């Protein structure tokens, strides 16, 4: 049982505190409830570009990094389609510097056109480094708009195109800040060797004067049910053919989520998993095969991706995947395998607790979707999933008309 304390400020800022006396550092995680799904279709990549700007100076503090570095602290952030997450950690004694910095950039930003221009360049290089200059790196950029036609998950967090990033203006950015970076749109979680009362006093001191803001209520279009199988073929300068199949699945709080997650483990988590054993070890059709889900808050995707062994025909490879999916649709998962994937869920959860940073992040992200208490109930939900529930979701998800397939072909030399 992981114990934590919840506290809410008058301005709506939600606070979660967990004591961990094994670390000399304190980890401060700030989650803002804004992600790339909140962007407008002609200004994509914005939530992430904005994340970069959060380090470029706030209303009272011209430089975010130096004051943190001088107290021995470090920080970073990431953005996904659902939210933006910042973390800072410092030796426990110096927690106040971290709260001073984090609260000031919630209060207001103060950066120049010049800094915006530089960060646009940095993000464009990140775009290339992470997606375009990597073998197979653009596959996920292509797959999303195949699967989503209406919902904003159709563009990637890095942006639908580099042009949107190039076109961003200072006004756009300011507007985005006041819309979303509000205390009532944020969750602050802190893990470390802290005294609860003293920490709350410090939080009150630095955050309570930040005013509540009007955050627009999220109204996202629901992705219509896919009625026909979709396919696309691209040819790239890569050494081997690849295949990506994306199926629509459930949202994060759907009761069927856990069965779906376990199904992905049965198929591909670990070397003993079904697909790895059959397709890599036995039939030698793929050099690697993976089945995973985007555990996004709204209805996400279940993706199967594989790299073909040299000389294997694409039709044969796709058929082999289909056989594996048919197997899990038609035959019930045996008890041993079910225990195995459940054991792995339990052990992965225990190992995740090594990292206080991970704990702070997990508390905040659970708070966002349904309450930080989920940290103590999620594993239990996995343990109650039955083999027939896995079969049910397999039959519901793995339907031909629910699938978008990307054939990623190697250019013939």
Partner 1 sequence: MSILNRKIQPDFEPIPGIEYIEPKVLKLDNGIELFSVNAGNLDILRLELIFKGGSYAQKEPLIASSTAVMLAEGTKKMSAQKIAESIDFYGAFPTLGANRHSSNVGVYTLSKYLPQTIEILQDMVFQPTFPQDEFATMMNKRIQGFHVQHERTGFIARREFFKLLFSIAHPYGKITELKDYKNLNTEQLFDFHKRYYNSDNCKILLAGKFDDTIIQKVNQTFGQENWRGKSFSEDKKFEIPENNGTERVFIKKENAMQSTICIGKKMINKKHSDYIGVKIVDTILGGFFGSRLMQNLREDKGYTYHIDSMIASARDSGYFLIETDVANEVCKDALDEIYKEIRRIRQELVSVEELEVVKNQILSEMLKLFDGPFGAMQTFWSMKEYDMTFEFFDNFIEVVNKITPTEIRDYAKKYLHEDSMTQVVSGNPDGFDTD
Report 276-315 residues binding partner 1 (CB under 8 A). 277, 280-281, 284, 287-288, 307, 309-310
Site string for partner 1, 73-102 (x = CB under 8 A): xxx---------------x-xx-xx--x--
3-state secondary structure of 361: helix
Q: Hey, which residues between 154 and 193 contact partner 1 (CB under 8 A)?
A: none
The answer to whether 269 contacts partner 1 (rule: CB under 8 A) is yes
With beta carbons less than 8 A apart as the criterion, state whether 20 and 199 touch. no
Residue 37 CB-half CA count within 13 A:
24
Q: How far apart are CA 261 and CA 252, in angstroms?
A: 10
Q: How far apart are CA 288 and CA 285, in angstroms?
A: 9
Residue with Cβ nearer partner 1 (24 or 221): 24
Closest distance of CB 246 from partner 1, Å: 22
Q: Hey, which residues between 239 and 268 contact partner 1 (CB under 8 A)?
A: 239-240
Closest distance of CB 217 from partner 1, Å: 31
Closest distance of CB 360 from partner 1, Å: 15
The answer to whether 22 contacts partner 1 (rule: CB under 8 A) is yes
The answer to whether 23 contacts partner 1 (rule: CB under 8 A) is yes
Residue with Cβ nearer partner 1 (147 or 357): 357
The answer to whether 330 contacts partner 1 (rule: CB under 8 A) is no
Q: Hey, which residues between 353 and 392 contact partner 1 (CB under 8 A)?
A: 353-354
Of 59, 62, 223, 66, whose CA–CA distance to 145 is shortest? 223
The answer to whether 41 contacts partner 1 (rule: CB under 8 A) is no
Closest distance of CB 81 from partner 1, Å: 20
The answer to whether 270 contacts partner 1 (rule: CB under 8 A) is yes
**Residue 221 in tokens:** 């279009």
Span near partner 1 by CB under 8 A; candidates 180-188, 323-331, 351-359, 384-392? 351-359
Residue with Cβ nearer partner 1 (212 or 309): 309
The answer to whether 346 contacts partner 1 (rule: CB under 8 A) is yes
Of 390, 354, 357, 360, whose CA–CA distance to 375 is shortest? 360
Q: Hey, which residues between 105 and 144 contact partner 1 (CB under 8 A)?
A: 107, 117-126, 128-130, 132-136
- 8-state DSSP, 311: T
3-state secondary structure of 258: helix
Roughly what angle, to the nearest 10 degrees, separates helices 46-53 and 170-180? Answer: 90
Closest distance of CB 368 from partner 1, Å: 25
How long, in residues, is the chain? 413
Q: Are strands 286-293 and 230-236 parallel, antiparallel or unpaired?
A: unpaired
Count of CB atoms situated within 10 Å of the CB of 46:
22
Q: How far apart are CA 177 and CA 179, in angstroms?
A: 5
Which residues pair with residue 6 across a beta bridge? 16
At which residue do the structure tokens 């790299």 appear?
307
Backbone angles phi, psi at 88, to 5 degrees: -140, 140
Closest distance of CB 125 from partner 1, Å: 4
The binder of partner 1 chosen from 271, 315, 335, 412 (CB under 8 A): 271
At which residue do the structure tokens 């606070």 appear?
15
The binder of partner 1 chosen from 5, 7, 19, 61 (CB under 8 A): 61
Q: Hey, which residues between 203 and 232 contact partner 1 (CB under 8 A)?
A: 205-206, 209
The answer to whether 195 contacts partner 1 (rule: CB under 8 A) is no
Closest distance of CB 395 from partner 1, Å: 25
Binding residues with partner 1: total (CB under 8 A) = 76
Of 86, 90, 83, whose CA–CA distance to 102 is shortest? 86
Closest distance of CB 404 from partner 1, Å: 24
At which residue do the structure tokens 């059959």 appear?
278
**Residue 266 in tokens:** 């049965």
Which residues pair with residue 18 across a beta bridge? 191
């Amino acid at each position: 049982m992981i114990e934590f304390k919840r506290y809410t400020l008058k301005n709506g800022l939600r606070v979660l505190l967990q004591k961990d006396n094994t670390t000399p550092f304190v980890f401060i995680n700030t989650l803002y409830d804004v992600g790339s799904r909140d962007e407008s279709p002609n200004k994509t990549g914005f939530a992430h570009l904005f994340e970069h700007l959060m380090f470029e100076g706030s209303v009272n503090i011209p430089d975010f990094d130096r004051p943190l570095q001088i107290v021995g602290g470090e920080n970073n952030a990431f953005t996904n389609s659902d939210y933006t997450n910042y973390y800072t950690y410092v030796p426990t004694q110096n927690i106040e510097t971290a709260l001073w910095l984090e609260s000031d950039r919630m209060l207001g930003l103060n950066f120049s056109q010049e800094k915006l221009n530089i960060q646009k360049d940095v993000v464009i290089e990140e775009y290339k480094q992470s997606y375009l200059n990597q073998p197979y790196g653009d596959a996920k950029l292509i797959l999303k708009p195949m699967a989503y036609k209406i919902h904003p998950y159709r563009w990637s967090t890095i942006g639908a195109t580099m042009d949107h990033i190039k076109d961003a203006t200072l006004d756009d950015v300011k507007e985005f800040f006041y819309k979303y970076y509000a205390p009532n749109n944020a969750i602050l979680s802190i893990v470390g060797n802290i005294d609860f009362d003293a920490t709350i006093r410090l939080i009150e001191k630095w955050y309570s004067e930040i005013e509540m803001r009007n955050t627009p209520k999220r109204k996202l279009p629901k992705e219509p049910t896919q009625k026909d199988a979709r396919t696309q073929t691209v040819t790239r300068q890569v050494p081997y053919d690849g295949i990506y199949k994306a199926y629509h699945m459930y949202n994060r709080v759907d009761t069927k989520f856990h069965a779906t997650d376990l199904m992905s483990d049965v198929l591909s988590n670990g070397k003993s998993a079904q697909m790895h054993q059959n397709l890599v070890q036995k039939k030698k059709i793929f050099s690697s095969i993976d089945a995973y889900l985007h555990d996004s808050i709204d209805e996400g995707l279940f993706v199967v991706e594989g790299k073909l062994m040299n000389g294997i025909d694409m039709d044969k490879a796709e058929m082999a995947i289909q056989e594996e999916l048919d197997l899990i649709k038609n035959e019930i998962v045996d008890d041993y395998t079910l225990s195995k994937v459940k054991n792995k869920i339990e052990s992965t959860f225990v190992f995740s607790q090594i990292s206080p940073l991970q704990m702070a992040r997990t508390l905040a992200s659970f708070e966002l979707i349904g309450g930080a208490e989920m940290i103590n109930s999620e594993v239990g939900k996995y343990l109650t999933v039955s083999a027939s529930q896995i079969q049910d979701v397999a039959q519901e998800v793995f339907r031909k008309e629910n699938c978008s397939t990307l054939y990623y072909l190697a250019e013939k030399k």
